[in-house]
Chain A
Amino acid sequence: MTGFARRLAGKLLAGLVMVWVVVTFTFFLVHALPGKPGDVQYEQYIMMGMNSEQASAKVQAVYGFTSHAPLLSQYTGYLGKLAHGDLGQSISYSGVPVSHLIWSALPWTVIPVLSGLLVSFLIGVVAGIFAAVKRSSRWGGLLTVSGSLVAGVPAFVLALLLLVVFHTEWNLLPDAGTSDIQYTPGWNLPYIGSVFQHAVLPVCTYALLSYGGWLLAMKSSVVSVLGDDFILASELRGITPVTRARYIGRNAILPLFTVLALSFGVMFAGSFFIEDTFDYPGLGNLLLKSIGTRDYPVMAGAFLLITVSIIIANILADLCYTLIDPRVRR
């Protein structure tokens, strides 16, 4: 077995153990939440005029997928099904497979978050280099301030701000959903255009929120690299500024690369606040709804996806790091 394969096998094994630990932890954690599925619905049935017996029976009928088996037996059953790729059935959407709900929500998280992530990374890194190199100038200072400012704004505040300006006040962009329902979904221009239009505000929110972090991290990294001996040495040897900039960029971006790789994993969690504000039906929104309705299988399924994606991203980041930084291989 080569060193690379050995390293990969070790990381996969550790990843599997970590998945099991997290699955076990989240299974018991979500079941420990106070309240049970149907509690809220029971109240609504009472308000609709049912008596308590009718409301209880109706809850039993529509939320009949709740298991009444002991928790340990539910846990072993869950693990057994999981081993066969079965995430179970949703409680709040009685009978609908969890995997179906997750697959439906997945694209509406991955596409906007990925777009936002890449845009913010590119702009943040370039702006970070500029802010570091020109840190004594007014522009460098302004960039740093802009990074600190947007990094400090809570997601829901920024989302609401964009919503009010671009939808409520100027009415330039739609505020909610994924597309205009009057267009038939498929590979047709009006529908795809509508999807793009609806994605603009969520993507911009993601991008603006993470831009500050990339900028500040890159600036700090560049400033640190600028003080390294090899930069001084390269200056003394008369190496051209362009080549020197490449040295700086390559070395400074290494710590950010790990964060970027992890961000790909975290992206599967979506963003509760952004998806909720724009009523964007991604994984964050699904998870939020499932917590509200105590839909244990959906909660467990969503947490599992997030966990696995973060672990995979972590493993990939480790492996890629060995490729991009020769020092690690030694």
Chain B
Amino acid sequence: MSRPKPLVAALAVATIAATALSACSSSSAKKTNGGTGGGTGGVFTSIDANNKITAGAPMNPYNAAPNMFLGYNIMELGFTKNDPADPNALLPGLAASWTASDTGLTIQLQPGAKWSDGTPVTAADIKTSLAIAYTQGTAGPVAGAGGTVVAGSNFEVSDVKDLGGGKIEIDQQPGVKNLYFQRLVLTSTIVNDKVYGSQLPADIWTQIAAVQGTDAAAASAASTKLAAEGKTIAAFAPAKDISAGPFVETRVNPGEALLDRNPYFYAASKISPKQVILRSYSGNQQIWGYMNGGELDYAPYTSMPTNILNQVLKAGYTRIDAPSYVSASIAFNEKQAPYNLTPVRQALAYVIDRDAVTKVGEPVGGIAAPTTTGLVGSQSDTILSADQKAALNPYKPDPAKAASLLQGAGFTKDASGQWHLPDGTPWKITLQTVNGFSDWIAASTIVANELTQFGIPTTAAITADFATYQKEMGAGKYAVGWWLVALGPQTDKAYARIYGSADGFSVANGQATHNDSAAGNWEHTPATYTVNGQSINPGQLAAQLSVTPVSAQGPIIAQLAAATNQEVPMIQIWNYTHVMFTLDKRFTNYPKTGQDDLLANPPGVWMMQGYVQGK
């Protein structure tokens, strides 16, 4: 047995050393807790909500979990404005301007665009980046589950030509039309050819040409090769960060990244912070804690109750609201009775008080959905005419109407007030939600109370994690559960979310086919609806949206909105608002509510435009 005395002595020494060392660095805690002051050269601190910053993960934007940050050291040719009227509208990035034509796009690079090693951004960088995009599934013909090339659903870049003077022509595959070609090309990540070019085979553009060719066998072989090359790119770990953005990565600690200002950035004079610290977070409470201590200059939205919002505002933060294109909904598996009956879904929509549920589930970042259309309220308000909006059923809480609908469908209510299915079985609902989704979980308790009070005993069940939820939902295990819909601002994507693969629709060459037994189909709605006396195919209409110019989409959207409103494949409960917080203490001149184009992007993009200046 060891003698205690030396051990005690060693511990005493260690304790004294720890105290001394802590004293040496006592300013460090104050520094991070209170920030380093603004002014030019200050440190801007924020949270990166997308990445779990991990020491050792590659500085490669194509990796699954990269230590790279959009708008800081990841650059695009342009940045989204999230404009529902024109998804192709973008803010300038590495491209100062662009002109679209029938055959593609011509861009003009920013004068003086340079990498952080001082070398200029060239056409070769753009060409390499767009070739890599092909291998990552974000561009070009995409290999489907069986390796089949799915053409027409993406931008098909066929060539990139250097016209000199920073002008670059990007050609689209002849004969292919994609409404969002401009958006998809310009929002591709641009990387350095000298770093990434060697990761690509010399014949990459020959492979791309083969994929776009008419020889199906050659296209399939080339597609397989591209997919394999994509994996090589994803695993690549550059030795250091070479950035064309306003910042370049200096160091990564577990959970934290330090970026220094890039002196070669084309608009370096507009960038006020000398350094940026980005933190990852393990839970909402952590962000609330940071904000209570005034540690963050910018905080992305995290679900929070009203009392926390008040604390955060008291700590000096300003709330900024921007549009968000996500809606929380309660969706149904129509393969499970009685949810295959439209009156049942409509009745449930009448029972659930969306205002009351939103007040509990998402009081800060949610607005109760005005009704169910498949789009967020602000978007459907903009697109639909006054008559079309008036024709929508708002499903205001009305238990009498709900009861009437159920009685009409053969349901009965017993003396105790409980509803029974037409076959006499007592009707019970299990409302499924996911661990970690605190807003859904809180809202579920209210929904369960409302339904139980109405006479349908309802319990909220929680799935362990989202991967399991996806798996079990796809396997048809849940009859009623939470789901995110109205993902925009591209309306075709919003409707493809409802009438796409999750509903057994697949699209090829602009034609949608419906297969009720298709893998991943968990909604099981019918292939057609009858709306206002007309038979419509929602999957086909959603596919049609993707090839219809935004200006001509109105009539299709009106049909889809009316069908969704009538058939209620899901009940939209609330539409999320993109709430974020800024601290006007060390930095000032932040974008404000209403500047939606800027607010659709991270603060690095604001800085490029001259915002976020030191105090």
Contacts and interface: CB of A to CB of B under 8 A. Distances in A.
Contacts of B592: none
A34 B471 contact: yes
B466 A64 contact: no
A320 to B, nearest CB: 9
B280 A279 contact: yes
A293 B57 CA distance: 15
Nearest to B82: A49
Nearest to B235: A95
B506 to A, nearest CB: 9
B459 to A, nearest CB: 21
Interface stretch (B16-24, B337-345, B371-379, B509-517): B16-24
A126 to B, nearest CB: 9
A40 B466 CA distance: 6
A41 B236 CA distance: 20
A149 interface: no
A50 B142 CA distance: 12
Nearest to B500: A52
B255 A54 contact: no
Interface in A177-199: 177-185, 189-194, 196-197
A63 interface: yes
B55 interface: yes
B470 A35 contact: yes
B484 A95 contact: no
B496 A51 contact: yes
Interface string B62-77: 1111000000000000
Interface string A166-180: 011001111111111
Nearest to A253: B1
Contact of A41 (B64, B326, B471, B472): B64
Nearest to B132: A61
A54 B153 contact: yes
A177 B466 contact: no
Nearest to A57: B137
Nearest to B29: A174
Interface in B264-299: 275, 277, 279-283, 285-286, 289-290, 292-293
B154 interface: yes
A185 B471 CA distance: 42
B254 A281 contact: yes
Given A49-B490, A174-B29, A292 B137 contact: no
B58 interface: yes
A179 B21 CA distance: 13
Contact of A39 (B26, B227, B467): B467
Contacts of A285: 282
A46 B487 contact: yes
A53 B223 CA distance: 14
A279 B281 contact: yes
Contacts of A174: 28-29, 32-33
Contact of A64 (B24, B231, B277): B231
Given A92-B64, A193-B22, A178 B253 contact: yes
Interface string A288-312: 0101111000000000000000000
Given A61-B137, A94-B64, A119-B11, A175 B289 contact: yes
B497 interface: yes
A100 interface: yes
A61 B231 contact: yes
Contacts of A293: 467
B282 A279 contact: yes
Contact of A192 (B21, B33, B227, B293): B21
Contacts of A184: 251
B227 A64 contact: yes
Given A39-B471, A54-B153, A182-B28, A175 B286 contact: yes
B467 A64 contact: no
Interface in B132-158: 135-138, 142-145, 150, 153-154
Nearest to B475: A34
Contacts of A65: 231, 235
Given A34-B468, A119-B11, A95 B31 contact: no
Contact of B256 (A36, A55, A177): A177
A263 B43 CA distance: 42
B65 A183 contact: no
A54 B188 CA distance: 13
B227 A167 contact: no
A54 B154 contact: yes
Nearest to B144: A53
Contacts of B253: 177-179, 181, 185
B361 to A, nearest CB: 18
Contacts of A224: none
B467 A40 contact: yes
B521 to A, nearest CB: 12
Contacts of B465: 35, 40, 291-292
Contacts of B497: 46
Contacts of A57: 136-138, 142-144, 227
Contact of B136 (A61, A100, A191): A61
Interface in A268-288: 276-277, 279, 281, 285
A61 B234 contact: yes
B138 A50 contact: yes
A33 interface: yes
B258 interface: yes
A181 B1 contact: no
A36 B467 contact: yes
Interface string B208-239: 00000000000000000001001101111100
A189 B21 contact: yes
B523 to A, nearest CB: 13
B586 to A, nearest CB: 15
A324 interface: yes
Contacts of A200: 22
B54 interface: yes
- Name, among B33, B285, B465, B488, the residue most crowded by chain A CB atoms within 10 Å (CB to CB): B465
A72 interface: no
Contacts of A53: 142, 144, 150, 153-154
Interface in B1-49: 1, 4, 7-8, 11, 18, 21-26, 28-29, 31-33, 43
A43 interface: yes
B258 A182 contact: yes
B24 A190 contact: yes
A118 B11 contact: yes
A184 B31 CA distance: 15
A58 interface: yes
Interface in A77-136: 89, 91-96, 100-101, 104, 108, 118-119, 122
A47 interface: yes
A152 B467 CA distance: 32
B389 interface: no
Contacts of B549: none
Contacts of B496: 51-52
Interface of B: 1, 4, 7-8, 11, 18, 21-26, 28-29, 31-33, 43, 52, 54-58, 62-65, 135-138, 142-145, 150, 153-154, 227, 230-231, 233-237, 251, 253-258, 275, 277, 279-283, 285-286, 289-290, 292-293, 326, 465-472, 484, 487-488, 490, 492-493, 496-497, 500-502, 546
Given A108-B254, A177-B255, 17 more contacts: A34-B471, A39-B467, A40-B467, A53-B154, A54-B138, A57-B142, A61-B136, A93-B57, A93-B63, A122-B4, A160-B285, A176-B286, A180-B28, A182-B31, A193-B23, A279-B282, A285-B282
19 contacts: A34-B467, A35-B466, A47-B484, A50-B138, A51-B493, A56-B142, A61-B136, A89-B235, A93-B57, A104-B254, A163-B289, A177-B256, A181-B253, A185-B251, A189-B25, A190-B28, A196-B21, A257-B1, A277-B282
- 4 tightest A-B CB contacts, nearest first: A95-B235, A57-B137, A35-B467, A193-B25
